[in-house]
Every structure is written in C-alpha cells, then in structure tokens.
Amino acid sequence: FDAAKAVSDEGDFDVVLISGDIERSLDNNFIVQIAKNKTKDNLLLIIVTPGGSADVAYRIARCAQDMYEKFVVFVSGYCKSAGTLCVLGANEIVMSDQGELGPLDVQLYKRDELGEYNSGLVLMEALDRLQERAFSMFEEYLLSIKMKSGGQITLRTATDTAAKLVTGLFEPMYCQIDPSALGDVSRSMTIAKDYGKRLQILSKNFSDETLEKLVGSYSSHGFVIDRREAQQLFQKVMQPTQHQDLLARRLSPASRIPENERIFEFLYPN
C-alpha cells in the first residue's frame, strides 16, 4: 500500500494492476471499476500478459484515454500481443529492465489441440519460406535442364518440366494450409491495425511506420521488444522512477510473469 501510494503521489496517478490473460469480462470490469474508483487525473496501468482478445485490449485502452488526462502504461515484465495493443493507447510508456513488449500478431487455435494457440505469424512465415524455396528450386531446375541438354531442349519445355517438378514437390505442403486460417490471420491483423490507428489519435506516442512494423515485421509471437528497441518505436519511453521500481519489486512475481488466475486490482486507491 505504501509503495502504491508513493507512486500515486509522485504522478497524481490512480494505480491499477492487470496480470494474466486479456479476455472477455475484463473489459467490462475495468470500465465499471474505473468509473467507481477514479480519484486522480492520471492513470498508471501495470500490465503483464501473454495476450488475448484485441477487442478487450482496445476497450480497456479507450476507457483509459477517455477517463484520464494522461494514460501511462508500466511494462514491468512480460507484455505481448493484445498487451502491446493496449500499450498503443498510452501517452507514455514506462519500461523496467525486465519489461518486454511483443509484436501485434494474432493467436489461433491449434488444430486438434484443446485450448492451445499458435501465432498467426507462424503461418505467414511458413508461407513466405515456402514461396522463396519454391521459386529457388524452379530457377535451379530450369537452368540445370537447359545447361545439361546442351541447348537441345527449348526454354518452353524446360520451363514446363521445372514447373511440374516443383509442383509435385510442394503441392502436398500447400494442401495442408487452410484457406480459412489464412483469412482469419489477414482479418485479425487488419483489426489490430485499425484499432492501433484509433488509439494513436489520442496517445500520439507512435507513428504509422511503427504500427506497420508491429503488425508485420517481427518473426514470432515471443519476439522481445525491450526498452532500447521500444524507444526507437515510441516517442515517450522511460525507465521507472525509484518508487515505480520499488512497487514492481513488491508486486513480483505478478508484475513480471502473467498470473494463471488473472489479477485485476486497484492498487491505489484500494
């Protein structure tokens, strides 16, 4: 309580902790509790999450923007996917040495795996690698056929032969790709980008280029965006103050690693 009060007094903050998955009911609870407990002009939200629903993250960030003059997110530990989307709504970001953001990828259910997810970036990365390899092999076969025939085989015949060889090799792999999954990935990434653009209007803490990079330029869901990289992506990224650092240490492990049983709590006032 003393550590949370010190943080509150230092920045005129209400202080809130979210640790765990960002899923439905959290957004409604957040909106209700903010309306009920708000006492300060500014909000410091400590968020620790593996991700979850982009819709819920967006509603939380919008509520924070609407209800407070300044919205600050404290990334004190692991904060990925929908957590990063929530961060896009903040006017300022505080990141500890342990803090890490991630890209705005989407999480898809694994086929035949109950309750398990896979990153949408895995599917897109697989498609990119398949395309590169297929073109490389087509080129290799085409040139090899032409050279070894001593010019006896025409370019058209060599092209058709190379295409049939590559098709035979890669068709079984492409047949395993679900078109509906591709559609889900594309749509979900568009949703994340659209939400980001709307949050940008009030946060004014990142550029369109940053949004594009977060949506499509990282190779995995778990890719680490630490404070140094975050400072290249966002305009206002700071180290925690002494009081903020002390609060994070007092709250550990909930402030470092997402809790299995989600925590949502007003730390000050409480």
**Torsions phi, psi for 149 (to 5 deg):** -85, -10
Task: Calculate the alpha carbon distances from 140 to 143, 163, 171 in Å.
Answer: 5, 11, 18
Q: Which residue from 65, 91, 82, 98 is spatially nearest to 254, judged by alpha carbons?
A: 98
- φ/ψ region of 192 (left if φ > 0, alpha if ψ in -120 to 50, else beta) reads alpha
pLDDT of the chain, 270 residues: tens digit per residue: 799 999 999 999 999 999 999 999 999 999 999 999 999 999 999 999 999 899 999 999 999 999 999 999 999 999 999 999 999 999 999 999 999 999 987 554 444 444 444 555 555 556 667 788 888 888 888 888 888 887 788 888 889 988 888 888 878 876 766 665 554 555 667 888 999 999 999 999 999 999 999 988 887 778 999 999 999 999 999 999 999 999 999 999 999 999 999 999 999 998
Report the run of H or E that residue 216 belongs to, with start and end: helix 208-216
Whether the model clears a pTM of 0.85, i.e. scores above it, the answer is no
Q: Give dist(CA 105, CA 96) in Å, integer.
A: 23
- List C-alpha distances in Å: 57 to 63, 107, 133, 159, 224: 10, 14, 37, 50, 20
Q: Are 243 and 7 in contact (CB under 8 A)?
A: yes
Q: What does the CA dihedral 191, 195, 196, 199 come to, rounded to 10 degrees?
A: 180
Residue 17, class by beta-carbon neighbours within 10 Å (0-12 exposed, 13-18 middle, 19+ buried)? buried
